[in-house]
Amino acid sequence: MTTFSLCRDSCDFPALFNELEELLERAVVRNPYFSPEWIECWWKRVQPKSKPLVILSRSESGRLEGFWPFIERPGVLWSKGLWPMIYDEANYFIPIATEWGVNALIEGLEAQLKEFHFFWIPLMNNFFWEKYFAKVIFKKDFFHLARVPRKTSIIESGEGSFDDFWEMKLGTKTRKSLRYDRKSLHEKGKLEVELATEEKDVQSLLPGSCLVEVNSWKSEEVTGLYSIRGKRAFFFDLLPKLAKKGRVRLTMIRVDEEPIAWELDLLDQNFLGIHNLSFAQDWKKYSPGKQLMEINLRRAWEEKRKVDFLPGNLDYKEKIATHVEPVRELHLFKKSFRGFLARRLIIWNLKVRKKILMRVKPTKASESLRKALEAKG
């Protein structure tokens, strides 16, 4: 039997992270964004007065069986709620837990509505939602708002070769065009594909990643990895720490030592999540992003890793995926006047944001966001 408890003091994080490392060896519900390195580096950036609330589940012997980190946030009319940690960086917000620890975590989250007026979980994968969460939480009498704002594209390696898979997913013309781009890129100069998984190698690639990001279309649309102030320092701190634990892989294409594309992949047990893929716009006609993606997908296929393109609404990801899954969002509110009002205000805000996006000039980023806001509950 497992029971939940709370950690509300960041001074307890170091000891808790040691337990979390051991939990990661046994967990069946997994989230690479809630590893100790992500929590540690992200917590450095939050405001000094921020208050953590980590829901834990433990066995009768005291062994950690579940970990779900949140942070207190203010709401309307002097209400307060819970948002997940790393809410501005992560692509999933499910917990880390064993089969025995999940229900106690959900029970612990539900119990927080005695103190808090709402909580928000932006992105939950379909596995966690269907197997553990929805069937428990919707039996309760709460105000809620559930949506499917995004989807994620998955590639799972089969029995055949990667070449067979790639030939099936890409038409003859597309493959021929990609081969031509590869040949043309070789003719532009000395071409190198660098791979980094060790701490020092990851550090050596980071300056080059900045050059790619600055010259990427993502920089113009302020959607790049380093576009927002403070993000570069965060990732320069985080990625080498992840490398120490074998939780990250960076790859880069250079032509005559000039970096023109790079990819950041998160690694977990038999899993690879494509957190970022960027290329320099001046090299667009040579398809360096597609070339690098093909290299990394081939490697992941041979390693028998499940590849997750991570939540987004981009057509090219769906085209090469073996399947597409919904990604859930949930707001849960205390059954009170404040909870009712908070729900109404969120619905109103979603409608306003959608109207604003419909009026602006379409971009890749705004189009993806518009699709998210059109999502039905």
Is residue 364 scored above 60 in pLDDT? no
- Using CA atoms, how far apart are residues 22 and 82, in angstroms rounded to an integer? 26
Burial of 81 (0-12, 13-18, 19+ CB in 10 A): buried
The DSSP H or E segment spanning 122 is strand 118-125
Domains of the chain by range and CATH?
2-150+327-373 (3.40.630), 158-304 (3.40.630.30)
Residue, of 370 and 160, whose pLDDT is higher: 160
Residue, of 250 and 146, whose pLDDT is higher: 250
DSSP string, 338-375: HHHHHHHHHHHHHHHHHHHHHHSPP-HHHHHHHHHHT-
365 pLDDT tier (thresholds 50, 70, 90): low
Average pLDDT estimate for 291-295 = 97
- Quote the pLDDT of residue 370: 47
- Quote the pLDDT of residue 357: 64
Average pLDDT estimate for 58-81 = 91
338 pLDDT tier (thresholds 50, 70, 90): confident
- Quote the pLDDT of residue 236: 98
352 pLDDT tier (thresholds 50, 70, 90): confident
Tens digit of each residue's pLDDT (9 = 90 or more) over 159-201: 899 999 999 999 888 889 999 999 999 999 999 999 999 999 9
Mean pLDDT lowest among 120-134, 138-152, 293-307: 138-152
Map tokens 């073996």 to a residue: 322
Share the mean pLDDT of the chain: 91
- Quote the pLDDT of residue 369: 47
Burial of 169 (0-12, 13-18, 19+ CB in 10 A): middle
355 pLDDT tier (thresholds 50, 70, 90): confident
351 pLDDT tier (thresholds 50, 70, 90): confident
Tens digit of each residue's pLDDT (9 = 90 or more) over 93-136: 999 999 999 999 999 999 999 999 889 999 999 999 999 998 77
- Quote the pLDDT of residue 297: 97
Residue, of 350 and 47, whose pLDDT is higher: 47
- Quote the pLDDT of residue 363: 57
Tens digit of each residue's pLDDT (9 = 90 or more) over 213-260: 999 998 888 889 998 888 999 999 999 999 999 999 999 999 999 999
Residues 6+ apart with CB under 8 A from 114: none
Q: Which pair of tokens denotes residue 234?
A: 């965060």
- Using CA atoms, how far apart are residues 195 and 313, in angstroms rounded to an integer? 28
